[in-house]
Amino acid sequence: MYNFDEFKVDIENSKEKGLYVNIRNLFSAQGAWLNVDGKKVLNMCSNNYLGLADDNELKKAAIQGIEKWGVGPGAVRTIAGTMEIHNILENKLAEFKGVEATIVLQSGFTANQAVIPVVAGKEDAILSDKLNHASIIDGVRLTKAKRYVWEHRDPNDLRKKLEEAKNDGAKKLLVITDGVFSMDGDLAPLPDLAEVCEEFNAILMVDDAHGEGVLGSHGRGIVDHFNLHGKVDIEVGTLSKAFGIVGGFVAGKKNLIDYLKQKARPFLFSSSLSPAETAAGIAAVEKLSRSDELVKKLWSNAEYFKKKLIKLGFDCGHSETPITPVMLYDAKLSSEFSKKLYDEGIFASSIGFPTVPRGEARIRVMISAAHTKEDLDFAVEKFESVGKDLNVIK
Ligand code: PMP
Q: For the chain, give every domain's residue range.
A: 19-49+292-389, 56-290
- At residue 165, the pLDDT reads 98
DSSP reduced 3-state for 340: helix
- At residue 71, the pLDDT reads 98
Q: What share of the chain is helix, strand, coil (3-state, %, to 5)?
A: 45, 15, 40
- At residue 188, the pLDDT reads 98
- At residue 48, the pLDDT reads 98
| Class level of CATH domain 19-49+292-389 | alpha beta
- At residue 17, the pLDDT reads 85
Q: 151: how many CB neighbours lie within 10 A of its CB?
A: 14
Ligand 1: centre distance to CA 209 (Å): 6
pTM attached to this predicted model: 0.96
210 lines ligand 1 (CB under 6 A): yes
Ligand 1, residue 247: give the atom nearest the CA.
15
C-alpha closest to that of 238 among 276, 210, 200: 210
207 lines ligand 1 (CB under 6 A): yes
Among the four given CATH numbers 3.50.50.60, 3.40.640.10, 3.40.50.970, 3.90.1150.10, the one describing domain 56-290 = 3.40.640.10
Ligand 1: centre distance to CA 226 (Å): 21
**Whole-angstrom distance, CA of residue 172 vs CA of residue 145:** 9
Please list the active-site residues.
182, 210, 241
Q: What is the CA radius of gyration of the chain?
A: 21
What does each C-alpha distance from 175 to 59, 178, 196, 334 come to in angstroms?
A: 38, 11, 10, 34
For a pocket test of ligand 1, which of 182, 234, 273, 351 has the largest count of ligand atoms closer than 8 A to its C-beta?
A: 182
pLDDT digit string (tens) for the chain, length 394 residues: 999 999 999 999 999 887 888 889 999 999 999 999 999 999 999 999 999 999 999 999 999 999 999 999 999 999 999 999 999 999 999 999 999 999 999 999 999 999 999 999 999 999 999 999 999 999 999 999 999 999 999 999 999 999 999 999 999 999 999 999 999 999 999 999 999 999 999 999 999 999 999 999 999 999 999 999 999 999 999 999 999 999 999 999 999 999 999 999 999 999 999 999 999 999 999 999 999 999 999 999 999 999 999 999 999 999 999 999 999 999 999 999 999 999 999 999 999 998 899 999 999 999 999 999 999 999 999 999 999 999 999 9
